[in-house]
C-alpha cells in the first residue's frame, strides 16, 4: 500500500472515530456533570437575566442545576466551591424561600443519613474523634459567619449544647440557611467517614 493511501485511510478512520465520539458525547451530555457545567448553569439562570418565566420553568431549571450538582463527586464539589462559590451564592440568593429549601433538601440533607448510618457502624473511639472534629468545625464556621456575631449568648449556648448532644439532630432541625452554610463541613465529614470505613 502506498504511503499516501495509508495516510488517507488513517485520516478517514480517525474522522469516523471522532464522529462517533462526538455523537456519544452529545447523547450522554445530560447524564454527565463537571464543575464548570454547574457554574455555567447557575450563571445562566433565566431569572438572573430578567426572564422570570413560569413557576414550572423555574422549577425545571432548578431541578437541572440540582441534578448536575448532585452528580459531582467530592473533589469536583471542592473544585466547584473554589472556582464558583460566588456564582453559586448569587444563584442561591436569587431563589425563593421555597426553592432554597428544596435546593438544600436535595443537595445537603442527603449527607445526614449517610453520616448518621456510618457513625453508628463505627467503633466508639473513631466515632467520638470524628464527632468532636465535626463539632469544632461547625462551631468555628458558625462563629465566623455574620449571623454568628448576632447570636445572643443564650442562643449561642443553646446551639453549642445541641451540637454537643447530637450534631446530626442539630443539623436536621437547623434552619435552611444554617444547613446551606454547613454543607462543606458535611461533605468533608462524609469523605472522612467513607475513608474510615474502607
What integer pLDDT is reported at residue 13 of this predicted model?
78
- Inter-helix orientation angle 74-93/55-70, to 10°: 160
In a domain, 23, yes or no: no
What integer pLDDT is reported at residue 183 of this predicted model?
83
Q: 15 vs 8, 24, 64, 82, CA distance in Å?
A: 11, 14, 33, 37
Of 9-13, 121-125, 135-139, the one with minimum mean pLDDT is 135-139
Domain co-membership, 117 together with 198: yes
As a whole-number percent, the residues of the chain with pLDDT over 90 amount to: 32
Q: What is the pLDDT of residues 78-98, one digit of tens each?
A: 999 999 999 999 999 999 999
In a domain, 24, yes or no: no
Q: Which pTM value belongs to this model? A: 0.70
Domain holding 95, by residue range, is 31-107
In a domain, 74, yes or no: yes
**Is the Cα dihedral 160, 82, 93, 104 positive or negative?**
negative
* 157 vs 162: CA distance, rounded Å: 9
* 119 vs 129: CA distance, rounded Å: 11
Strands (E), 16-174: none
Domain count, the chain: 2
* 63 vs 58: CA distance, rounded Å: 8
In a domain, 7, yes or no: no
Q: What is the pLDDT of residues 134-173, one digit of tens each?
A: 777 766 765 655 544 444 555 556 556 555 666 777 778 8
Domain co-membership, 68 together with 117: no
Last residue of a domain, one of 107, 128, 145: 107
* 49 vs 33: CA distance, rounded Å: 23
What integer pLDDT is reported at residue 92 of this predicted model?
95
In a domain, 17, yes or no: no
Amino acid at each position: 500500500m502506498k504511503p499516501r493511501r495509508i495516510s488517507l485511510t488513517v485520516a478517514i478512520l480517525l474522522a469516523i472515530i471522532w464522529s462517533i465520539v462526538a455523537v456519544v458525547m452529545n447523547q450522554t451530555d445530560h447524564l454527565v456533570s463537571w464543575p464548570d457545567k454547574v457554574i455555567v448553569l447557575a450563571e445562566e439562570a433565566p431569572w438572573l437575566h430578567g426572564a422570570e418565566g413560569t413557576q414550572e420553568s423555574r422549577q425545571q431549571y432548578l431541578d437541572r442545576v440540582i441534578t448536575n450538582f448532585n452528580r459531582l463527586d467530592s473533589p469536583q464539589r471542592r473544585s466547584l466551591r473554589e472556582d464558583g462559590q460566588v456564582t453559586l451564592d448569587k444563584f442561591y440568593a436569587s431563589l425563593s424561600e421555597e426553592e432554597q429549601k428544596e435546593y438544600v433538601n436535595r443537595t445537603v440533607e442527603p449527607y445526614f443519613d449517610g453520616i448518621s448510618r456510618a457513625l453508628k457502624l463505627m467503633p466508639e473511639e473513631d466515632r467520638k474523634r470524628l464527632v468532636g472534629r465535626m463539632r469544632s468545625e461547625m462551631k468555628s464556621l458558625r462563629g465566623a459567619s455574620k449571623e454568628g456575631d448576632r447570636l445572643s449568648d443564650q442562643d449561642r449556648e443553646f446551639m453549642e449544647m445541641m451540637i454537643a448532644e447530637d450534631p446530626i439532630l442539630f443539623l436536621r432541625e437547623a434552619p435552611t440557611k444554617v444547613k446551606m452554610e454547613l454543607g462543606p463541613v458535611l461533605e468533608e465529614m462524609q469523605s472522612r467517614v467513607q475513608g474510615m470505613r474502607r
